[in-house]
Copies of this chain bind each other. A is one copy, B any other.
Amino acid sequence: MTRSDGRAADELREVRFTRGWLDHAEGSVLVEFGGTRVLCAASLTEGVPRWLKGQGRGWATAEYAMLPRATNTRNSRESVRGKIGGRTHEISRLIGRALRAVVDMDKLGENTLQLDCDVLQADGGTRTAAITGAYVAMVDAFDTGRRRGWIPAAVDPLTDSVAAVSVGIVNGEPVLDLPYEEDVSADTDMNVVMTGSGKFVEVQGTAEGEPFDRTELGRLLDLAHTGCAQLAELQRTALA
């Protein structure tokens, strides 16, 4: 089998991190997975929401959104429609859980991290690119926090790194990091979030067409493991 863009089944698209893309944010990254481009802005502020006050713990949350013309045909704005769609909600929550999985809230102290992941261009894998980029933006935000004295200089709230990748069964073959074209024709679509040390944070597999069996699931998890390990390495390089 040959993939339409010539990649091997277990090969990532070109991944790029442009750190500091924004002047104001405490951390920011323009992350690209091939044609998918997500602007991740990490806002770190002192203090926590009222219901968390006085516990010495921090808070981290995320919001995901897509520009109307990120996609092939224009989608109407959620702000204009006056409500947020289910998909947006779902992905925002996923990103938030992924980030919180590697943050020690006690070490973060009473600070709030807000990650905004805005998809400027979509070509499949927007949620996995968002998580992978958001981690890098978060690292930079925590650095800013230390420089500003919100987080003690010797403290690192991070317990691990986190990255995510999509895998799927396309034309009967498991493949890594699906662009839009493959995504729409995939029988099974799975998003996997893993720590840098190779553990699972989130596994979300959906049979879009035929239900899948345990063997296929195993092969997909193998692929995801490979992909996340490479992404963790790329994150390290970008942050070096």
Contact = CB atoms under 8 A, between A and B. Distances in A.
Nearest to A212: B200
Interface residues of A, number: 66
A25 B71 CA distance: 8
Contacts of A90: 86, 89-90, 93
A226 to B, nearest CB: 13
A205 B193 CA distance: 10
Contacts of A71: 24
Interface pairs A-B: 9 shortest CB-CB = A86-B89, A199-B211, A41-B69, A78-B79, A79-B79, A203-B205, A43-B74, A89-B89, A90-B90
Interface of A: 22-25, 28, 35, 39, 41, 43, 45, 63, 65, 67-74, 77-80, 82-90, 92-93, 97, 101, 114, 116, 118, 120-121, 123, 160, 190, 194-195, 197-207, 210-214, 217, 221, 225
